Amino acid sequence: MFPFPKTVKLLLLYYFLFHLHDLIHADAPPCQFCSNTTISKNDAPPYQFCSNTTISTDNNLFQSNLENLLHSMSSNSSVSNSFNTTTGNDQDRLFGLFLCYNFVSKDDCKNCIASASQDIQKLCENSNEAVVWEEKCQLRYANESFFGHLDVTGNIWKDNKQNVSGDELGRFSSVVNETLHNLSRLAAFNPSYGMYATGAVNFTDTETIYALVQCTRDLSPYDCNTCLEIAIANTSSCCSESRGARLLSPSCYLRYEFYAFYEGATSENPRIFENSKASRRDWTIVAIVSAILMVVLLGFCVCYCLAIRNQRERQVSGREDQLYNIGDPNNIDVQHQNLQARDNLNSQNFPFFDLVTLSAATDNFSDSNKLGQGGFGPVYKGQLPDGKEVAVKRLSSVSEQGLDEFTNEVLLILKLQHKNLVRLLGFCIDGDEKLLIYEYMPNGSLDVFLFDPRKRAQMNWSRRLNIINGIARGMLYLHEDSRLRIIHRDLKPSNVLLDSEMNPKISDFGMARIFGGSDDATNTAKIVGTYGYMAPEFAMEGLYSVKSDVFSFGVLLIEIITGRRNASFHLTKCAPSLIAYVWKLWNEGRGMELIDPLLMESCDIDEFLRYMHIGLLCVQEDAYDRPTMSSVVVMLKSEAVTLSQPERPAFSVGIFKDHYETNDKDYSINELTISVVMPR
């Protein structure tokens, strides 16, 4: 006979413990570690980030300096909530910093730093750089100076297990984001706030959201704001549904909850456990009634409870496996110290736009405001409340550009300032929504003019030369003149925008990579770019360097002066590609036949042939033979420079595949953007 009474008791006990566990741990969410390191299964602080580089265990000088450093910081924790210092000399010098959160008392700060000093030695033994976050403070040391440098390496986020209900989620995300952005600006740019700000905002008649932001005192106002904006973006991506979240960073701290944690509250309902004890009789009654009901519905309840248990196990497993690497350089393939930003970020206020504002600016992303379709999603024209026109790039939910590429593009453009690069005005991350806000280019992209006979007629020879030279200067800046050495990897007409005076501006840095070498090639397992513009060594072997961009520039130059598209030229049956046809006519002395008929009256034949010659030098098959962008700029400027004889170009790259995209005004054949993962 089926044991009903025992089963009922077990189910009731399971149900009770299941929900009691949720209540007890509502304020102790699991930690999601965001760095290339390990973390214990115990979710209680401390949390640590330890560098992979260690000091020899017999290095007594290092140990002595570290102990002196930690002692100095502990001694100062009773008089200040923030302190940095150094010990040692020359190559043996150590740098240390601690930060107690401003709501913490002096005594609590002292106790917290004392614990952190002990924990950091245990958890990160012999590491030459480490950070430890306690409940009320954080402590850091390194064998290189980090004072005054923004660092988002090893960011950790924690989210509350309790989620906001679905019908409130949209407004909740908007309120949280707006509150955090306002606090970030106050903390960073208002000296009276001292890199710290708190705020309370009513969410419903009975619920209030409490938020706190704080930066280490060594940061500049702009770096503080940048650190907090990145923290907000991180929490928006990981924790948009959670009723509370924290972001622990080496340079800043962020938290929001539905209770005043910075005033001493420890949960949303401090009386919850008292009520549990006081209502044991109520629980007994509930248990008896539930037992009767569950006897009647036993079969249903067994299935239901088992399903819930399995679902919860899957969720727990998913949470344990989800190590969201905000700061892992291997995810972004950047090899730039994990976007450590140890060179100061551009000193400008980089604003966050909320989704409500952008939706209103674009008329809810209506088709009538759609400017075009990029590789990662549509671009819309928008008008901000102050009347300023902008271009809003909205990443598709099925786009291959995830948070890694999105963050990459934001942080790259933030560091770049050149008249031939598109200016990024801001960004938005709201749940699954990721958007970039650019200055509006009234003349759209170069491909719209270049491959439409009616519009191409507006591009006389001098205007085309101006566009070519502007693109060359922009690429030279990326390769050699900016603080970072950047390879664009997807230069093509649709990624060149034209302002009101037809000046070119290079855009779309989602594929870009920061390059650490000179001209040596770097290998990647993921091939990204556009057929027809990809250098052969990149398309076939995954090798890329600055010479890969030179190849793309050469293709683009030839397209501009001939008015023909490389990727669809095989349809003419003349040759497999435009580059192959140019090479054929060049060797036969018939290069002038390629002049765009629309340029016959304005084009200088000798100048046309010289530009064709430069283009062929850029698309040579061997990357070593191609000129650098600095050489290209010189060749374009001066006719006195003697040009070498070009070697055989790469005739075709991969398989050309075209697809048609239409809108109400223009019809064009667009190149295929590809993303292929290849074995190393």
Give catalytic residue positions: 490
C-alpha span between 154 and 36 (Å, rounded):
8
CB neighbourhood size of 376 (10 A): 24
Count the neighbouring beta carbons within 10 Å of the beta carbon of residue 88.
17
Cis peptide upstream of residue 46 (ω within 30 degrees of 0) = yes
Q: Which residues contact 192 (CB under 8 A, 6 or more apart)?
A: none
Strands (E) across 222-323 are located at 245-248, 252-257
- Dist. CA 515–CA 338, nearest whole Å: 12
**Strands of the 82-87 sheet, one edge to the other:** 47-50, 129-133, 137-142, 94-100, 82-87
Residue 670 three-state SS: strand
Pair 94, 87: CB distance under 8 Å:
yes
Whole-number Cα distances in Å, 137 to 25, 104, 110, 455: 22, 9, 10, 61
**Distance separating alpha carbons of residues 248 and 41, to the nearest angstrom:** 18
Contact 129, 55 (CB under 8 A): no
Are 627 and 613 a contacting pair, CB within 8 Å?
Answer: no
Sequence-distant contacts of 409-413: CB under 8 A, at least 24 apart: 409/436, 409/508, 409/509, 409/510, 409/512, 410/436, 411/339, 411/341, 411/345, 412/484, 412/486, 412/509, 412/512, 412/514, 413/509
Cα 98 off chain centre by? 27
Question: How far apart are the C-alpha atoms of 192 and 10, rounded to whole Å?
Answer: 59
Instruction: Return the axis-axis angle of helices 169-189 and 221-238, rounded to nearest 10°.
Output: 160
Identify whether 191 is preceded by a cis peptide bond (ω within 30 of 0): no
* Residue type at 209 in one-letter notation: I
Enter the tokens of residue 379: 């671009």
Distance CA 186, CA 198 (A): 9
Distance CA 174, CA 161 (A): 20
Secondary structure element (H or E) that encloses residue 430, with its range = strand 424-430
Angstrom distance (rounded) from CA 588 to CA 585: 5
Residues 6 or more apart whose CB falls under 8 angstroms from that of 251 comprise 150, 151, 152, 215, 216, 219, 223, 224, 227
Q: Is 512 exposed, middle or buried (0-12, 13-18, 19+ CB in 10 A)?
A: buried
**Percentage helix, strand, coil for the chain under 3-state DSSP, each rounded to 5:** 40, 20, 40
Q: How many Å apart are CA 365 and CA 358, to the nearest integer?
A: 8
Q: Tell me the C-alpha distance between 547 and 559, whole Å.
A: 19
Which residue type sits at 138?
Q
Closest to 177 (Cα-Cα) out of 409, 355, 360, 395: 355
Distance, CA of 382 to CA of 380 (rounded, Å): 6
Alpha helices in 206-259 (DSSP H): 221-238
